[in-house]
Amino acid sequence: MNKSALYITSALTAVAIAALGQSQQYKLGRPAAPEEVRELDISVAPDGSGLPKGRGTVVQGQRIYETLCANCHGDRGQGMLQYPALAGGQGTLKSRSPLRTVGSYWP
Amino acid sequence: MTQTRLTRRGFLAATGATIGAIHIPVTGFPKDLGAGPRPYGERSPFEHSVVRFLPKTSTPASSYSKTPLQDLFGIITPSALHYEVHHSGIPEIDSQHHEVMIHGLVERPLIFTMEDFHRLPSVSRIHFLECAGNGGGEQIARPAMNPQRSHGLLSCSEWTGVPLRTLLEQVGLKPGASWMVAEGADAGRMARSIPLEKALDDVLVAYGQNGEALRPEQGYPVRLIVPGWEGNVNIKWLRRVQVVDQPYMSAYETAHYTDLMPDGTARQFTFVMEAKSVITRPAGGQQLSGPGFYEITGLAWSGRGRITKTEVSADGGKTWKEAQLNEPILPKAVTRFRLPWWWDGKETSLQSRCTDETGYMQPTREELVAVRGLNATDHYNGIKVWYVHANGEVSHE
């Protein structure tokens, strides 16, 4: 989405939100406690906010990948059977057999 | 059947049958009393061939089924025949314990039970649902053999629920709110970003489908209905709505449901399902019994509003005739079209093209491929052609 489209969308949304001001309150639904929100909220924003607290190294990551991922996606992320490749594919997107991976494609 | 009690209805039917026997041939009609009522109805055993088509997929949890469009009448899809696409299977959810949390950039984060939803002001509206990938095979020159195979990731139902706007009014939006993330309770926690402008316009938090509770495969007990937009954003088994300030780039709006263009870039957030139509009778897989009268009928729909015109060509696209649009013609719903046709017994082809209230006309496959190429197969809406052979056989090629 380009910048002007985003601007128009936010302007329209702002108008719509302003109109919510006179809304009817039905007093249904119970307040969500902060700990309930923390428990259910698993969203991670594109900038990484929302990720669980913690840190790790590439070596630790490799061990986790080998334990949890490699069985289906291959030891080098090349994919197999119905399990898609997770790496590679750079330079293939204009061809008739594009390989869409995190590295080559995901916008 | 051992029931002997003669009900009022059974008695009337029995006497009626006796009187009627004077006028109608008796052969083949039952002489014994029929079965009594049952708590939940079943269709005639003679209709059991009308079923969803289940293609072979790698796992049952990541699979789909297609609606038998060629066997249906009118515009409403029976709930038992509604198409399905599942990415993590169908969860079994007890409505008594299901809750939906609305939080994020809101004044009062709230949790709603199903009872809360049932108490809030409700609306019922007829809308189609269509998978973004419906007809994708047509784009890559693999035309499908019948309407179910080519266009069966399309269904249309009456949905009942609470406008999402009402719920957002209850929680109150904070400044900066511009998008929301909707998340399902399926094992993969399917999540999609939706602009608030749409959420405040016509999105429903739906619990009813064609007069009864949603089917489990349609999101029981509660789902989003995002009218006119690709099926995937109509999150089933809704468990959470988070108001945010940007799209969250979930897997289903980055890796999937994006359109790879010939220049290597991707079209993203291509939400709206554009105007599209298909002839369902006569269509591929059917047999005409000889020259004479046939009604050409089919379905037209647009994610941008009402269908205003549907034209049919029975001569390979040389001339087009305007079909009759059957009432009701509803926005973002399927419209049934009809055109009388006398077949002269000669080889020909049948195709339809529709126009919606924005003036947009359904393109040909060639026009669409010229712009989008062959690497993206979602959001395909090209014209579908059926070929009538001299022996009455109708096929896809």
* Interface contact A98-B260, CB threshold 8 A: yes
Residues of chain B with CATH 2.60.40.650: 276-395
Please tell me the CATH code under which domain B84-267 is placed. 3.90.420.10
Please report whether residue A103 resides in a domain. Answer: yes
B392 contacts: CB under 8 Å, gap ≥ 6:
B287, B288, B289, B290
| Average pLDDT of span B305-319 | 97
Confidence of residue A3 (pLDDT cuts 50, 70, 90): very low
- What SS3 state is found at A82? coil
Residues of chain B with CATH 3.90.420.10: 84-267
Please report whether residue A23 resides in a domain. Answer: no
User: Residue A78 maps to which CATH number?
Assistant: 1.10.760.10
pLDDT at B392 over 70: yes
* Interface contact B264-A93, CB threshold 8 A: yes
**Cα within 13 Å of Cα(A22), Cβ side:** 3
Which residue of A16, A37, A96 is in closest CB contact with B103? A37
With pLDDT > 90 as the criterion, what percentage of chain B qualifies? Answer: 90
Please report whether residue A25 resides in a domain. Answer: no
Q: State phi, psi for B150 to the nearest 5 degrees.
A: -85, -35
* Interface contact B262-A31, CB threshold 8 A: no
* Interface contact A32-B240, CB threshold 8 A: no
Please report whether residue A76 resides in a domain. Answer: yes
Q: pTM of this prediction? A: 0.90
Probe site for chain A from B169, B198, B245 (most A CB atoms < 10 A): B169
Contact B301, B227 (CB under 8 A): no
Cα separation, B16 vs B7, in Å, equals: 14
Residue A107 structure tokens: 């916008």
pLDDT at B252 over 80: yes
Overall domain count for chain A? 1
| Average pLDDT of span B289-304 | 98
pLDDT at B89 over 80: yes
Cα separation, B290 vs B274, in Å, equals: 36
Q: Which CATH class is domain B276-395?
A: mainly beta
Q: How many helices (H) and strands (E) would you count in chain B?
A: 7, 23
> Which residues from chain B sit within 8 angstroms of residue A42, using beta carbons?
183, 189
Confidence at residue B30, expressed as pLDDT on a 0 to 100 scale: 84
* Interface contact A45-B248, CB threshold 8 A: yes
Task: Write out the residue range of the structural domain in which residue A77 sits.
Answer: 57-107
The contact set of A with B (CB < 8 A) is 1, 9-10, 12-13, 16-17, 20, 23-26, 28-32, 36-37, 40-46, 81-82, 93-94, 96, 98, 100, 102, 105-107
- Segment A32-83, tens digit of pLDDT: 999 999 999 999 999 999 998 999 999 999 999 999 999 999 999 999 988 8
pLDDT at B31 over 70: yes
Best mean pLDDT range from A2-6, A99-103, B164-168: B164-168
Which residue of A9, A28, A30 is in closest CB contact with B178? A9
Confidence at residue B8, expressed as pLDDT on a 0 to 100 scale: 40
- In B, minimum Cα distance to A105 occurs at B255
Cα separation, B279 vs B297, in Å, equals: 6
Which of B205, B174, B200, B181 is closest to A13 using CA atoms? B200
Please report whether residue A79 resides in a domain. Answer: yes
Residue B287 structure tokens: 């047999």
Which of B197, B193, B191 is closest to B165 using CA atoms? B197
B381 contacts: CB under 8 Å, gap ≥ 6:
B135, B273, B274, B275, B276, B362, B363, B368
